[in-house]
Chains A and B, each alone.
Chain A
Amino acid sequence: MLERFSPAIAANRFGLGAKPGELAQIGSQPRDWLYAQLSGAAPLLTGPELHSSAETLARGLEVRRELRAAKRAAAEATSDSDDKANAVAAFMKIGQVYRPIYIAEATARLRQGVITDRPFVERLTYFWTNHFAVSVDKNLVLGLAGSLEREAIRPNVLGHFSDMLLAVERHPAMLLYLDNHLSVGPHSRAAGLLARRQGSQRRLGINENLARETLELHTLGVGGGYTQADVTTFAEVITGWSIGGDGYGRRFAGGKPGEFVFRPEIHEPGAKVVLGKRYTDTGYDQGVAVLRDLAAKPATAHFIATKLARHFIADDPPTRAVEHVANAFLSSNGHLPTVYRALVDSPDAWAQPLPKYKTPNDYVVSTFRGLQLPAEGGRASLAAFEVMGQRTYSPGSPAGWPDKSADWDGASALIKRIEWADAVGQRVGSRLDAKELAPQLLGDNLTPATRTAISRAASGAQAITLLLSSPEFMRR
């Protein structure tokens, strides 16, 4: 194994692939180029087309109310009627409200990846979004996934892990995705009221989804030392972490529509023991206290370090690299730039040959970035991610997208990349010169075989296709 502090490795392994001219700019001290990206405020993503989660959700709740009313009317209608048509129309409206928001968010994200001068920070943003995954195949999340990244991940990507953890767990997208907004303490005031009402078949209770995934996927990791009892108790601790607005019936009215709200009336009262520690009932702060403690656990440090090392270094990262990163996490109280520096200064992070196969997302972004393609096409640009199996913000589960090469390097996935590369080549081949681009994108990773294939290509289009299909462009 060869280690070499190469600009091409810095740009590809830690960044989003080189823009033309970027390798020259990185120069002879690639680690300094990466460290420099970690200082200063984290770059945020804003724009007139990007809306806050509260604004988006308030609109969604409004549409939902209309839909409910329309459904009631349709149910009462005896035959096919305008009422049924109205129900259909109301249903379509959810998509009409959320789909353009999703497209705007995913497009802005792609554009940022193409133009950013701090691609390492962008990659880290992708990493954390995937760590704290929500998936837009759940209806209401379609309009909120982008705002979760902009509101909870980006502002904290160069801060402390515990702050990011709290920002994510109380974000409406996460509360909705993992069902916590309707989780009710069985001994809460609201549950008591309902139980006394005669004839109510519905009993209120907890939903342990968010609590479980916070422990399993966001902090300690599976095998991190928690039990079913910890899951259940932690779920009770965070009952009342909900969303404002009256979209969920009178019981959940109050609070500003679409914003996080703590609802004491559904919070399970009392002191609770999580992971052997007793937390007195301080309402909302009880949950914050548990999260702060979870963020500081050695199991959390180790889990995060392993995922970072797997993402940036190798599918099965060397133990010494994981330990180095985990120690940085613990000794800095989860100060993320310190953690990232430990990653970059691990010699294993500069290994050759290229150990990782790009994810479809990174393949598409690095193509857009390398060729400086416009990311303005809305759905058309985004279709590329979908074709290759990684539609933006849709990992399909709270575990996020898988992160090993074998998860992405299948036969059918490869042919889709090549077919897409060919479509790109046909589009830009007459104006872009692959011979000139190849060394600028791949630097010293460019092999003689690829250089020769490109120089002998039958057309400009084919040369681009070969560049984008080359083994060294598929990997990082």
Chain B
Amino acid sequence: MNPFTPSAATAATCGAEFRSVAANGGPPCSPVWLQQPYDDAMRLLKRRAFLHAGAFALGGAFLTSRLAFARTGTSKSRFVFIIMRGALDGLAAVPPYGDSDYAGLRRELALKAPGAPGGALPLNGFFGLHPSLGFLHDSYTARELVVFHAIASPYRERSHFDGQDVLENGSLQPHAVQTGWLNRALASLQTPRGKELGVALGQNFPLVMSGPASVTSWSPSKLATLDDDTLERITDLYAGDPLLASRLADALAADAIANGATDTEMNPTVPDVIANGTSDASMSSAVPHDVAHAAPQAASTNAQSDAAGDVQPNQLQRGKPMRYTEVARAAASFLRRDDGPQVAVFDTTGWDTHANEGSAEGQLAGRLAALDAGLRTLKDELGPAWADTAVLLATEFGRTAATNGTRGTDHGTATTAFLLGGAVQGGRVLADWPGLSSHALYQGRDLKPTADLRSVLKGVLSEHLLVASSSLESSVFPNSSEARPIKDLLRS
């Protein structure tokens, strides 16, 4: 292939030819077998039928998934934890425009006060929300959002990877514990044996959900052409391999749930999560553009414009707000079920804004808009279950108070976190504001942490998921006595 052939044309040709030639088995664009029709409804339904019957009824020795979800006791509470990987700039997401040092530190990145063109959305007269966060602002007005500021995990270095480890492992040190606080919290709850309380959405499994409690993972499938017989044989082949056997059973059962099959009836339509496919590769699961028939050209443009910085005209961000809608929809399809899991976790990425961060518009603005749209979808799709839901968004640390030499910000310390949902007692900004004057900054460069993220986590886990405080202090957040739980974050 000539590398300078515009690939849009190439891709379109492949896709189009595939549709007409595949039936003959010819290789128009070899190897086309990678482009098996994910939307081949007949085969899909055949597989669903197998899943349904196999996973819940046939009961062959290894076909019985141990995947069955549970809620604890009679609790209807749902909890979603969204990790913002890359270190969110809290001073951009929630600008303290009322702080007299803010505009000087941020210079061209500074957001203006509410009312000015491109200005922040008003919160409490001192803090605002980034103008891309319209849904969060609606939530604040509806008293369903608590904003935390100058908050941080106990981690005080500036490595993303160690910072995320501490954010997820719930201890004071990176790599001190190999399990996540959320999993340990679930493990402390009384659940029927073998029932799963949580689901991680996305291809790979985050540390925060790893541990003794049984949880599963799900991400959209695009090559669903397996027939019953092959699946049964593979299941048999895994009889001697406990890990693969349980993984396979989990995958099949999770698929069935995500795709809307229920214990009593098969969904007669192509499942919405799959039918909507995806045209964006932003979820960590790296979605297959070629396999889905979702406009390969538009999809790749989206994916690679992702960190485009200043090569990205603002008018081209249409469509980007879609980036988290699929995962939000999938999360809702698990959580809204009465017999679904209680907890869902997923990742968002791209917050590491070292250069050309932008202000009211630009790189970060586009990502915040995408996140905001995803959260709106989550609420819409949860329907009545939103009233029982709390969503927490957190990041590993913040960014430097001052703009750096490349119109971005470097790794910092304190930042923001958000708690929203119908179950949240919101309409509040909780911050013990340390100020931004040079002597107030942590190590002379970062927003100083005045609140411990674990205080929020403990408050939510105890009031919303009813995790016992003895568990919180021992297994969930060891050595955390100085981080007292924040009370009354949830509606009583």
Q: Which residues of A contact B (CB under 8 A)?
A: 49-51, 64, 67, 71, 74, 84, 87-88, 91-92, 94-101, 103-104, 107, 136-140, 142, 178-179, 182-184, 186, 201-209, 212, 216, 222, 228, 231, 373-374, 376-384, 386-391, 394, 396-397, 399, 402, 406-416, 418-420, 422-424, 426-428, 447, 449-450, 453, 457-458, 462, 465-466, 469-471, 474
A-B contact pairs, 22 of them (CB 8 A): A88-B313, A91-B313, A92-B301, A94-B308, A97-B4, A99-B7, A100-B3, A139-B309, A182-B406, A202-B407, A216-B159, A378-B14, A379-B10, A409-B247, A410-B200, A410-B203, A411-B217, A412-B254, A412-B285, A415-B255, A447-B240, A450-B237
Q: Which residue of A lies closest to B157 (CB)?
A: A222
Inter-chain contact A100/B5, CB cutoff 8 Å = yes
B118 beta carbon closer than 8 Å to chain A: no
Inter-chain contact B286/A390, CB cutoff 8 Å = yes
Query: In the docked arrangement, what's the CA distance between A450 and B5, Å?
Result: 44
Of the residues B226, B236, B252, B285, contact of A389 by C-beta under 8 Å: B285
Contacts of A474 in B (CB 8 A): 244
Contacts of B231 in A (CB 8 A): 418
Query: In the docked arrangement, what's the CA distance between A231 and B443, Å?
Result: 14
Q: How far is the CB of A200 from chain B (nearest CB, A)?
A: 10
Inter-chain contact A98/B301, CB cutoff 8 Å = no
Chain A interface main SS type: helix
Inter-chain contact A137/B306, CB cutoff 8 Å = yes
For window 402-442 of chain B, which residues contact chain A by CB distance below 8 Å? Answer: 403-408, 410-411
Of the residues B107, B287, B311, contact of A67 by C-beta under 8 Å: B311
Of the residues A410, A423, A465, contact of B36 by C-beta under 8 Å: A423
Q: How far is the CB of A259 from chain B (nearest CB, A)?
A: 20
Q: Which residue of B lies closest to A59 (CB)?
A: B4
Query: In the docked arrangement, what's the CA distance between A427 and B161, Å?
Result: 41
Contacts of B29 in A (CB 8 A): 377-378, 380
Query: In the docked arrangement, what's the CA distance between A447 and B238, Å?
Result: 12
> Shortest 4 CB-CB distances between A and B: which pairs?
A205-B405, A427-B33, A383-B290, A415-B251
Inter-chain contact A410/B7, CB cutoff 8 Å = no
Query: In the docked arrangement, what's the CA distance between A419 and B225, Å?
Result: 7
Map CB proximity to A onto B216-256 as digits: 1 under 8 Å, 0 otherwise. 11110111111001110110111111011001101110110
Inter-chain contact B226/A422, CB cutoff 8 Å = yes
With A183-B406, A386-B286 known to touch, is A466 a contact of B254 (CB < 8 Å)?
A: no
Inter-chain contact B355/A182, CB cutoff 8 Å = yes
Contacts of B450 in A (CB 8 A): none
B2 beta carbon closer than 8 Å to chain A: yes
Contacts of A471 in B (CB 8 A): 237-238, 240-241, 244
With A139-B311, A179-B408 known to touch, is A410 a contact of B281 (CB < 8 Å)?
A: no
Contacts of B303 in A (CB 8 A): 137
With A95-B304, A389-B285, A470-B237 known to touch, is A399 a contact of B160 (CB < 8 Å)?
A: yes
Contacts of B234 in A (CB 8 A): 418, 465-466, 469
